[in-house]
Structure 1
């Protein structure tokens, strides 16, 4: 058996699911803190398959297994996102690998569903300082998008965001700025330029421009982010319009962006606008239930 984290020979078995193997106590503890505590029961259910006598029973079992794998993938993405935005890249890696495995098993090894786990792995590697590994994961994500011939603007935005993060870590600010601008462009194409899902792209662009001492543009971008969130919480909803409901990863991302924006405004003694937007976050946001009010 191979270790869930490093793929080395492993004999240590999780006594909960009796499916996950580890090469040492440290790797088992890391996996448990990262994601396994959230999916142990689901993983165990995958390993409890039994033979069925009829095709209909087998079909039902296959669909049940598929749904369980989807839940594991979604939970892993949520956990990985939380670890990345909480600056715990070491814990993000096992969650991203779990998400990648489930995505490949459910959708196939060349599906665009693999792109998000690849980008999570790349982001974790950047935070860990493993920039060559990050470039490898980003290249795999880009190849997957090209192979699938996808024109999905949201996926393109995520890829450019990943490249921008890597280039910023290498202090290649001009190239990073270009990637961040492409991120904003594709986010705007996918969701509209005033959508809250564009705000992380705006923030990454502002970070690159800050290093280039474009202070006026940076301040404008920060205020644009705050304005978008104020509109999200306080703006009127047009008749027949269905408010966008934030997913759990989007909630984590939103809290991260708004907190960083507030810190930026606080450092300059002008945090009133950012503070009012942060104060508007309802309690349900922590549970992924935020909608426009």
Structure 2
């Protein structure tokens, strides 16, 4: 649908292509993705609740983890509900405003998650490499300020990009070859000169991902060096176990995101990125709470205690 403006027209809504090759399996895919979505939301909410309710988890690592879980819940909620509607009802239309809001929050929350992952890496570095100074440096107040900084940086950078993006014109076509309003696909649909916007988008992606990645690499280099210098194998195993879950999540998170976004050319990458984007928005948020809870004895103990309290209260 378009609205006439002078000699041209402006797009009022977009059509999300989704996965046309498997649309005949819509109800089956709806069920699978709904279960994955609910499991992901439930797992991340459980982490948030037990972190808030149990004083044993009122430490920096779990404070940061609960904030990351909150971001994950919001992140997948920007995309998955609309995907479920596409699978179940084949309603592919999305208004111009809703499309821009979806793209904005997807990128804002994604950028914030990158920065928070870097902060979590620094937290593990200080805990392992500077154990005597760790309690004085990583107070809950410091963690709160760091989380606030992550949100502020993510919001500022993405808002700046969208201010420039808002100057682009859309006069048709309006078919987005993706299952959500991907920033690169929107640029490709614009009838304006998008050279500067493509360059800015690439620069912002590179800045966000590279800055987070460099901090993470520096932190884990220090961690590896420290662990290798520990005198006994038992101490090395214990030190590595404190960051192994985070390390696994890092590989999943960076792997899918780098493949999707760190490419200077926006116009030829959308079709090949649908599957990677689906992993990033469905699979990774589902695995994160599983990885953190299955590999964490302290979380196991807290969950057992909570279950015991529930049984006793009955």
TM over 0.5: no
The higher radius of gyration belongs to 2
Structure number with greater CO (CA < 8 Å, separation at least 6) is 2
More helix by share: 2
Higher share in strand:
2
How does the TM-score come out when normalised to structure 2? 0.28
